[in-house]
Amino acid sequence: MVIKVYISGISGNKEVKKRQQRVIMILDSKNIKYEIIDIAEPGAEEAKDFMQNNSTALGATIGDPNPRHPLPPQIFNDEAYCGDYDMFDMANEVDEMEKFLKLEPSDAPIAHEPMKNGDVKSEENGKVTNEQNGDTADVQDEGETNNIENEGPVGNKADENGDQTEQTENETSPEKADDE
């Protein structure tokens, strides 16, 4: 199934142009494959008629709240009507884009494995770093982590085996030495 976005490449309406650009930008950011059909191109009368006859929403804008014909962008999944810009935007806001576009689970883009807040995955060294406390861990193929390398909670220190040991009073940090 192919997502088809009907647009007008020569629209004089700035709001329509912005809406068309936003639809394309969102589809690109979600890695959803689509085909753009410009109804304003010469010889595209059949595509224009299809869009106008099969669109149930008119794509009203602030400047034209009651258009006589459906305004682009209009979104279809092959021949099945999905909706206009407002419906597309709402589906994006409530995170139901695949449902809106009538995509099968096999057609939907692959979701990336979620990470905890503050985690940054570095592809080059295979480590996940938590920016909040600086801990790093090796990442295995199954998504498991092991071998914590940096210091743990404040007041603890990792030895060469990665085991946590408590600091003694004789081992004061530079910050503490300045306060005394």
| Fold of domain 3-100 | Glutaredoxin (3.40.30)
Q: What is the pLDDT along the chain (180 residues), one digit of tens a residue?
A: 799 999 999 988 899 999 999 999 999 999 999 999 999 999 999 999 999 999 988 776 666 667 778 889 999 999 999 999 999 999 999 999 999 999 987 655 555 555 566 666 555 555 555 555 555 555 544 444 444 444 444 555 555 555 555 555 555 555 555 554
CATH code 3.40.30.10 region(s) in the chain: 3-100
The DSSP code sequence of 30-83 is TT--EEEEETTSTT-HHHHHHHHHH--S----SS-SS-SSPPSPEEEETTEEEE
